[in-house]
Amino acid sequence: MKFPENFLWGGATAANQCEGGYNLDGKLPSVADHISKGDVNTPRTFTYDIDTDNFEYPSHEAIDFYHRYKEDIKLFAEMGFKVFRLSINWTRIFPKGDESEPNQAGLDFYRSVFEECKKYGIEPLVTLSHYETPIHLAKTYGGWTNRQVIDFFGHYARTVFNEYKDLVKYWLTFNEINILASQFGAIMGGGIIPEAGNSPIFNSDEESVASKNQRFQALHHQFLASANAVLDAKKINPEMQVGCMIAGNETYPLTCHPNDVLKAQQSIYEANFYCGDVQVRGEYPPFAKRMWQENDIELDIHAGDLELLKAGTVSFYTFSYYMSSTASTDPSQSASAGNMMFGIKNPYLESSDWGWQIDPVGLRVYLNEVYNRYRVPLMIVENGLGAHDEFAEDGKIHDSYRIDYMKQHIEQMKLAIADGVDLIGYTSWGCIDLVSASTGEMKKRYGFIYVDKDNEGYGTLDRSKKDSFDWYKEVIASNGEKL
Ligand code: BG6
């Protein structure tokens, strides 16, 4: 029961959460650059105009990876990373999104980042879209609700595939594509923004920003864009591998009442398999028709769309996994917080400081569920514990809680491999502290590397190693044997 020899150990980030330099060298704002800081009780606000007098925008400086990537990649190399997941910020390459010529400074930046990775033998794993839709496309075209955006994205994808064809082998199309099914995903995932003014990114009104119909239509467009990218990548360099990326939420029935069991099953099908089936199997699942009918969704599917989905299937399946939740038909049950999707509290699980329910065994359940459905290689491209880190008297961060969390999850990965799952890699989320996507805070930290910046935006931005740094280095060196 061992990890395969060539297992891809590493860490993950996203451009909008770590780069900063949001308006440098020709870059224009993406949707993420219009989203303010919030906290665990206050939702982040999307502002139609950037208003720095009244709001703080954490992506504008983030952790300044834009200027410090050499130092950061050197630290990743010291831990022995085999792979580093990052996203290309679309607006560095095409600042407005609909230009025909790319921005050379943006191309040069990522070339230099990838070359730096290669210097240490680190394989980049690149997400094409991680909440970074150009704001111009959101304002002028309605974001992903507009079919034209498929072409703009196609042009961007082909440009970077051609540019980096000798430097990047592994690509992901849309980060957590399935969040578009939720209201939260409309702005961040779909670039669908309110007409004017400000709007919280979380809202109890399901349809406040976009109707379900608009969101599922936007999702259909992203599926098509993803399929095109798969086909283009193969043409440009047959060695390139393109994967999907799903927010993996394991959902259990709260009780063994058959109605709860059914609800949990439907939640897994609708949240995970709806997108997985399209991207891996190339077709909408059998339950989609009922789901569309029940939600008044009428998709505008053009001739040739379904054939394109069939042709452009991904070669591996990746996902984020932080937590699990439960489903119940009892309306008196209280909801729990979570990663993009919410369920009912599980009495057997502890939660993180941000209320996410910690469930290592759920990772094994999820890996088995997905592998047995799709039989393609799997990669966990996000996992970790968002926690408060404090310096001890010796001036260090002793993050034993983070080590415990990861150790337990890695043990379950090993068991899943013994179950027969073809798991090829693991990139923990926020390998260096970065801005939280859901709350915009700095103090929700995931990293092995501490970044000196507080929630108010003050700090030197200096990097330092936490205890988990040496621990993870040992995990990688022993290929998962020493946990
Ligand atoms: C995933 C996103 O949903 O979860 C990341 O892909 C995000 O962008 C991560 O940062 C953790 O969530 P949060 O809200 O703790 O940053």
Whose Cα sits closest to atom 16 in ligand 1?
A: 436
Nearest partner of 406 among 82, 10, 4, 8, judged by Cα: 10
What does the DSSP 8-state code read for residue 478?
A: T
Q: What is the pTM of this model?
A: 0.97
- What phi and psi, each to the nearest 5 degrees, are found at residue 267? -65, -45
- pLDDT value at 42 more than 60: yes
The arithmetic mean of pLDDT across residues 435-449, rounded, is 97
CA 182 to chain centre: 15
Per-residue pLDDT band for 184 (boundaries 50, 70, 90) equals confident
Q: Of 14-18, 37-41, 82-86, 465-469, where does mean pLDDT reach its minimum?
A: 37-41
Mean pLDDT computed over 358-373:
98
What is the token pair recorded at 8?
């891809």
**Closest CA relative to residue 463, chosen from 11, 75, 80:** 75
Atom 7 (ligand 1) nearest CA: 437
* Residue 337: pLDDT over 70: no
ipTM beyond 0.85?
A: yes
Q: Which of 69, 172, 99 shows the shortest CA–CA distance to 434?
A: 69
Range in 305-319, 338-352, 432-446 the model is least confident about: 338-352
Cα dist from 252 to 89, 263, 268, 385, whole Å: 36, 9, 9, 21
Answer whether residue 85 shows pLDDT above 80: yes
pLDDT value, residue 54: 94
Q: What is the CATH number of domain 8-477?
A: 3.20.20.80
- For residue 446, the ligand 1 atom closest to its alpha carbon is 15
Task: Check pocket membership of 309 for ligand 1, CB cut-off 6 A.
Answer: no
Task: Please tell me if the CB atom of residue 250 comes closer than 6 angstroms to any atom of ligand 1.
Answer: no
Does the pLDDT at position 340 exceed 60? no
Q: Does the Cβ of 428 fall within 6 Å of ligand 1?
A: no
pLDDT tens track for 191-232: 999 887 899 988 777 777 899 999 999 999 999 999 999 999
User: How far is the centre of ligand 1, averaged over its atoms, from the C-alpha of 10 (Å)?
Assistant: 17
Residue 199 beta carbon below 6 angstroms from any ligand 1 atom: no
Ligand 1: which atom is nearest the Cα of residue 438?
A: 14
Task: Single out the catalytic residue among 176, 250, 270, 441.
Answer: 176
pLDDT reported for residue 281: 98
Task: Please tell me which residue in 116, 132, 250, 382 is annotated as part of the active site.
Answer: 382
Share of the chain above pLDDT 70, in %: 98
Q: What is the pLDDT at residue 135? A: 98
Q: Judge whether residue 339 has pLDDT over 60.
A: no
Average pLDDT over residues 93-97: 98
* 176 annotated active-site: yes
Closest ligand 1 atom to residue 430 Cα is 10
Tell me, yes or no, if 195 is annotated catalytic. Answer: no
Alpha helix (H) ranges present in 399-466? 400-418
Which pairing describes strands 8-12 and 83-87: parallel, antiparallel, or unpaired? parallel
State the pLDDT at residue 41: 85
Is residue 342 pLDDT above 70, yes or no?
no
Ligand 1 pocket test, candidate residues 339, 357, 427, most atoms within 8 A of CB: 339
pLDDT at site 338: 63
Averaged pLDDT, 405-431: 98
Between the CA of 339 and the centroid of ligand 1 the distance, in Å, is: 7
CA–centroid distance, 388 to ligand 1, in Å, is: 16
> Of 224, 213, 133, nearest to 175 (Cα)?
133
